[in-house]
Amino acid sequence: MRSYVRTMMLILVLVVVGFLAGGPTEARAQSPRPVLVLDPGHGWNNGAGLIDPGEVSGDLVEKEITLDVARQTRDLLSRCDVDVHLTHDRDDYNHTENDIADIVNGLDPTLAVSIHTNSSDTTASGTEAWYTVGGYDDTSSQALAAILAAGVADQFAIPNRGAKPETQNPLGGLYIHEWEAPSVLLELAFLQADAELLRTERRNFARAIARVLLSSVNVPLDCADHATAEGFAIAVYFPEEERINAVTLLNDGLLPWEPGEYSLVNTHNPLGAPESLPLPQVVQAGEMVTWDAIPAKAPETAGIHRQKWQLYKGDTPLGDEATVIVIVVPQQAVDLKEEIEHKIDELRQQGQQHLEEQLELLRQQIMDAVEQKLTEWLTDAFHKICGGNSAVVGLAAGLVFLKLRKKRRSND
């Protein structure tokens, strides 16, 4: 009997242990997305009710650079299968530096990176990264610090000042010490010697950080692949006139584009252009590529036509469509053509802002001109045919006019 009880107890214990073990195992089997936390250095309450700007050098303010780079890193990472959080997304009066550990730990990160800029009254240049000593996971922290410093320094060919233990920091220790994840404090570059990079290359700082973080959580970098259309081509044509246009795309991802893998595909209104055009050269991340010999033959119909292009990798479209806008004015409407050419110069300077509204106004102007010309021509013709019977002429011209009104909605 006693052995029976003991056996039952043992079974009960095994069941309970099995149940407890089952919980976390099942949770792990669902493989949750890695959680990446970015802490834009400074921009928090300095403890006296003011925002701490960090270091300032000329027009460069540390908290503005770190927030911009953190946001852009999030922008790149959010295209991928990871969760990204910033400890703050604007000046944060509600927290001081001492509160950041609570924010980070509350997010239960897989990895956490604090982003700062360095400052020196010497000519010091380059990137360094600090790791924890006696923190949550010093080994992973040190490894992450080493590849972050190398990744950022390599991006710009500036000195890699390497991974450094927080105990060597003049402050004696760093606020990443309390973070419950492999954590690094990254000093992007120096506000003085590297000022130009920090002013103009923030997207590429973000690329370098995003590459290292994705690699560290085993997410392939092609998840962030993206083409951004740079401006648009626009010109005024007579019917059936042919022109050569250019389309420019920015490689806004993390990997180079290789010829053979990528092509520019016509997705709308070929207007005599080929179905697809090969990538002309290798395009590094952050670089632009231009296809400068894209033909477009204007249709016969006056109005606004759009030839559209999209970058494809194999069968997968990537990012923005690029548009070639073909404005067709009636044959021989030389004055109208000149007037519209003047207006599209202004449009080019404005960029994409209000482009569609402006194009709609131009389209109406062209259609008005077409209607006016047609009505004049028809009135003349009917006068000849009907011998001046003004009622019949008016009725016929009116019918044609109404038909045109219906058609003027069409626009591609």
Q: Which residues bind Zn ion (CB under 5 A)?
A: 41, 54, 116
Looking at the Cβ atoms of 48 and 157, the one nearer to Zn ion is 48
CA gap 88, 105 in Å, rounded: 14
Question: Least distance to Zn ion from the beta carbon of 128, Å?
Answer: 12
CA gap 257, 270 in Å, rounded: 24
CA gap 65, 369 in Å, rounded: 52
Looking only at the bridges linking them, the beta strands covering 276-278 and 262-268 are antiparallel
Question: Least distance to Zn ion from the beta carbon of 102, Å?
Answer: 19
Question: Least distance to Zn ion from the beta carbon of 60, Å?
Answer: 12
Looking at the Cβ atoms of 198 and 247, the one nearer to Zn ion is 198
By beta carbon distance, the residue nearest Zn ion is 116
145 three-state secondary structure: helix
Q: What tokens were used for 403? A: 């038909």
N-to-C CA span, the chain: 88
Question: Least distance to Zn ion from the beta carbon of 190, Å?
Answer: 12
Reduced DSSP (H G I as helix, E B as strand, rest coil) percent helix, strand, coil of the chain, to 5:
40, 30, 30
Looking at the Cβ atoms of 41 and 253, the one nearer to Zn ion is 41
Runs of H (alpha helix) within 43-97: 62-77
Cβ proximity of 146 and 127 under 8 Å: no
Looking at the Cβ atoms of 74 and 116, the one nearer to Zn ion is 116
Cα angle at 75 between 58 and 281, to 5 degrees?
Answer: 95
Q: Bridge partners of 277?
A: 264
- List CB contacts of 74: < 8 A, sequence separation 6 or more: 38, 84, 86
Question: Least distance to Zn ion from the beta carbon of 55, Å?
Answer: 6
Looking at the Cβ atoms of 118 and 141, the one nearer to Zn ion is 118
Question: Least distance to Zn ion from the beta carbon of 272, Å?
Answer: 57
Looking at the Cβ atoms of 54 and 151, the one nearer to Zn ion is 54
